[in-house]
């Protein structure tokens, strides 16, 4: 198997992270945060399709260096019930964390030019019906974030159908789903999102976890169309990049924040092993920080070790021994100085949108 430069860097980082992982000791029982409830706005649902879930993981993605590391991290195996085991891991960690709820994400697939499903070139797929079913089982824990690729022929119908079943957030992942969110033909789609008051979350910044068509579709400026149509938009990952990426989309995000009061961003994956510059940059940019909501990007793991020079030794040791991924990311971002308003903002945003419905 040949590795690209980025795969090599990620595999090296994964090994480093694995070396710092303490032996399993049960999940942390974090105390609830006083005041506003804390919602993790960015938690992925995952599956390979066992148990009739309809999920899909491509053979190429299974060979990706991230997959075996991910299985080891959550103590999962392809035992015929991996999809359910994953749900139970997330449920257990959420219940024993400082968080109140999590926005749980589906993942639509790629579509051809004529709007037909393109599973052959899709890395992974988590159907909306599976997501909605999981949320119905655990309504006290999860808020449904459906995924609708606007290229699909029935995009508006699927959007409406899922909203009727309780969807609160919509996720689009341009570089993985091979869709430019700024194409003018998607205006009618965004108008429905605006009219139905569903929050539109769009991946921004560079992507390394799956096969992509390029990072140009990840540019924050591609969100202008949805914002112009009145959508409440969350720029996932705040347009950030890893230290080795050539692209720097953050200036675009800042410009959009100044133009559109309906634009927010999140802190998902900003505790990653190759993104140690991101959170300090975000915290130092007040205009963006005042629109930021908290997210983890679970199951992608934060790595406190790369922030060794910003954390007290006792704090670093405590975080490195924390096996609850949700709690670990939350406590790391707290320790790095993310303000309490950021942790409360996701819940306030959801409440505001619901009042306007």
How is 283-326 classified by DSSP, letter by letter? HT-HHHHTTEE----BTSPP-GGGGGGGS-HHHHHHHHT---HH
Residue 28 pLDDT > 60, yes or no?
Answer: no
pLDDT at position 65, please?
Answer: 86
Predicted model pTM: 0.90
Residue 25 pLDDT > 80, yes or no?
Answer: no
pLDDT at position 357, please?
Answer: 64
The H-assigned helical ranges of the chain are 5-19, 59-63, 66-73, 82-95, 128-137, 155-164, 174-177, 187-195, 224-228, 250-259, 278-283, 286-289, 313-320, 325-335, 340-356
Contacts of 227 (CB under 8 A, 6+ apart): 233, 256, 259, 260, 262, 263
Residue 50 pLDDT > 50, yes or no?
Answer: yes
Contacts of 329 (CB under 8 A, 6+ apart): 40, 271, 296, 297, 298, 301, 302
Domain boundary assignment for the chain: 33-356
pLDDT at position 19, please?
Answer: 38
Residue 352 pLDDT > 90, yes or no?
Answer: no
- Give me the CATH code for the 33-356 domain, please: 3.20.20.140
pLDDT-derived band at 354, boundaries 50, 70, 90: confident
Share of the chain above pLDDT 70, in %: 89
pLDDT digits (tens, 9 = 90+) for 213-271: 989 999 999 999 999 999 999 999 999 999 999 999 999 999 999 999 999 999 999 99
pLDDT-derived band at 16, boundaries 50, 70, 90: very low
pLDDT at position 234, please?
Answer: 98
pLDDT at position 35, please?
Answer: 63
Residues 86-93: contacts with CB under 8 Å, at least 24 apart: 86/45, 86/46, 86/47, 86/299, 87/45, 87/134, 90/43, 90/298, 90/299, 90/326, 91/138, 91/141, 92/27, 93/27, 93/298, 93/324, 93/325, 93/326, 93/327
pLDDT at position 1, please?
Answer: 35
Contact between residue 246 and residue 213 where contact means Cβ atoms under 8 Å apart: no
pLDDT at position 79, please?
Answer: 96
pLDDT digits (tens, 9 = 90+) for 288-301: 999 999 999 999 99
Of residues 36 and 128, more confidence is placed in 128
d(CA 186, CA 321): 46
- Per-chain mean pLDDT for the chain: 90
Exposed e or buried b per residue across 326-355, where buried means at least 16 C-beta atoms within 10 angstroms of its C-beta: bbbbbbbbbbbebeeebbbbbbebbeeeee
pLDDT-derived band at 328, boundaries 50, 70, 90: very high
pLDDT-derived band at 30, boundaries 50, 70, 90: very low
- The mean pLDDT value for 328-348 works out to 97
pLDDT at position 353, please?
Answer: 81
């Amino acid at each position: 198997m040949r590795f690209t430069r980025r795969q090599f860097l990620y595999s090296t980082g994964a090994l480093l992270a694995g070396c710092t992982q303490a032996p399993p000791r049960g999940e942390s029982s974090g105390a609830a945060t006083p005041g506003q409830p804390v919602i993790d706005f960015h938690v992925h649902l995952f599956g390979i399709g066992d148990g009739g879930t309809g999920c899909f993981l491509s053979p190429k993605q299974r060979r990706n260096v991230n997959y075996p590391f991910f299985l080891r991290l959550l103590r999962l195996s392809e035992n015929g019930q991996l999809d359910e085991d994953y749900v139970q891991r997330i449920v257990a960690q959420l219940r024993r964390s400082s968080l109140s709820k999590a926005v749980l994400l589906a993942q639509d697939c790629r579509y051809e030019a004529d709007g037909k499903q393109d599973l052959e070139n899709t890395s992974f797929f988590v159907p909306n019906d599976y997501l909605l079913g999981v949320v119905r089982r655990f309504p006290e824990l999860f808020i449904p974030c459906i995924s609708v690729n606007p290229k699909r022929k029935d995009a508006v119908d699927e959007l409406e159908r899922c909203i009727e079943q309780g969807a609160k957030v919509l996720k689009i992942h341009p570089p993985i789903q091979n869709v430019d969110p700024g194409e003018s033909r998607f205006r009618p789609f965004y108008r429905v999102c605006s009219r139905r008051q569903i929050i539109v979350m769009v991946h921004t910044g560079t992507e390394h976890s799956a096969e992509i068509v390029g990072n140009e579709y990840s540019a924050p400026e591609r969100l202008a169309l949805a914002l112009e149509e009145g959508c409440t938009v969350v720029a996932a990952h705040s347009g950030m990049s890893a230290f080795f990426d050539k692209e720097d989309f953050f200036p675009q995000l800042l410009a959009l924040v100044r133009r559109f009061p309906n634009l927010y961003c999140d802190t998902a994956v900003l505790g990653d092993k190759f993104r140690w510059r991101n959170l300090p940059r975000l915290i130092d940019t007040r205009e963006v920080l005042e629109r930021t909501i908290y997210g983890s990007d679970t199951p992608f793991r934060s790595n406190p070790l790369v922030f060794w020079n910003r954390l007290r030794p006792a704090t670093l040791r405590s975080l490195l021994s924390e096996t609850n991924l949700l709690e670990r990311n939350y406590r790391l971002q707290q320790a790095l100085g993310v303000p309490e308003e950021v942790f409360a903002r996701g819940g306030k945003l959801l409440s505001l949108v619901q009042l306007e419905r």
